[in-house]
Copies of this chain bind each other. A is one copy, B any other.
Amino acid sequence: METNKVTIHDIAKSLNIDSSTVSRALNDSPRVTQKTKDKILAKAQSMGYQRNMLASNLRKNVTNSIGVVIPRISRHFFSSVIQGIEETAYDAGYSVVICQSLEELKRERNIIQTLVANRVAGVLISISMETTNYEHFQILNSQGIPYVFFDRHCEIPANNNVIINDFKGGYDATQHLVSKGCKNILHFSGPGHLEIYKNRLKGYKKALSDNNILFKTENIISSKLMEQDGKVITKKLMDDKVNFDGIFCANDQVAIGAIKYLNEIGVKIPEQVAIVGFSNEPVSNVITPSLTTIDQPGFEMGIKATELLIKNIKDQSGTLPPETITMETNLIERNSSQK
């Protein structure tokens, strides 16, 4: 047990040089001759040396981990973002620690604390639905830990953000429904304090006004956008015999709930009712007539966010200006002929 006890001192001793030179060589410092570097690397290899990351971390007071804070890993959108994060981070030599807030502010605070205590190199954050104040992120500033918001960002402009063009997404979704002949379009919206849902709503309003359709407040139905919400909302709509010919859903969960409920009660979704969600895979498996989705590029978003974060981590001066990257959605119209 416990083999691998080779330290830089061992390899220094066997080469009659100093351990600090070995350290420099292993870190590819320019302050070592290529010749001695080669010698040291060869020796290290042959002795089966492996750097003790714990000691290295302590000395540098930082780890090679990137913390990721998301509401839920099981949401398809987030797991595809993580796919992008993982690949980018892995290639750059970082490992990824994933933490779920489960949409609770309390947990989110806790997670940030833990990540700071573990001296992560940087943090990627998509805030929870409960998050209305952002004080807990200040600790990252005070500790000099760079961070990037993605998707669910906060309205503070002085941050690094990688976000979706939610306004255009909402606009496209609504415009699509209008062009399909819908006159009375409902919007299942999210919590009013989250930027992304505010912007999707703005897009919805703009598309209506551009088409000379009157905006009605009662057509906006806000919820936490869980699948269950979709069911409950749709049930109430049907029970109340509310008149509508289109729904623009602000996310996939609520859309799935709505479709499932309609299926359950045996209501055939007519061609002219279209449901537009904001994430790909899960909705695409729910077969309805004329289903169209506004897909978010989750994977690419993960890559962009990680690249931006790493750029900030690598930056020595700490004076990089805050940056906001906006990504576009894709409207995907599905074949309505499938049964």
Contacts and interface: CB of A to CB of B under 8 A. Distances in A.
A208 B126 CA distance: 50
How many copies altogether?
A: 2
Contacts of A65: 97
Interface centre among A2, A73, A114, A143, by most chain B C-beta atoms within 10 angstroms, is A73
A241 to B, nearest CB: 22
Interface in A271-292: 281-282, 285-287
Interface in A40-55: 50-55
Interface string A73-88: 1101001101100100
A73 B83 contact: yes
Interface in A100-120: 100, 114, 116-119
B1 A144 contact: yes
Contacts of A82: 73-74, 98
Contact of A97 (B3, B4, B97): B97
Given A96-B98, A100-B86, A54 B57 contact: yes
Q: How large is the interface on A (under 10, 10 to 19, 20 to 34, 35 or more residues)?
A: 35 or more
A156 interface: no
A199 interface: no
A110 to B, nearest CB: 9
B74 A76 contact: yes
Interface of A: 1-4, 50-55, 57-58, 61, 63, 65, 72-74, 76, 79-80, 82-83, 86, 95-100, 114, 116-119, 142-144, 256, 263-264, 266, 268, 281-282, 285-287, 337-339
21 contacts: A3-B142, A3-B143, A4-B142, A50-B117, A51-B117, A52-B58, A52-B117, A53-B117, A54-B57, A54-B118, A72-B83, A73-B83, A74-B82, A79-B79, A86-B98, A95-B97, A96-B97, A96-B98, A268-B339, A282-B285, A339-B339
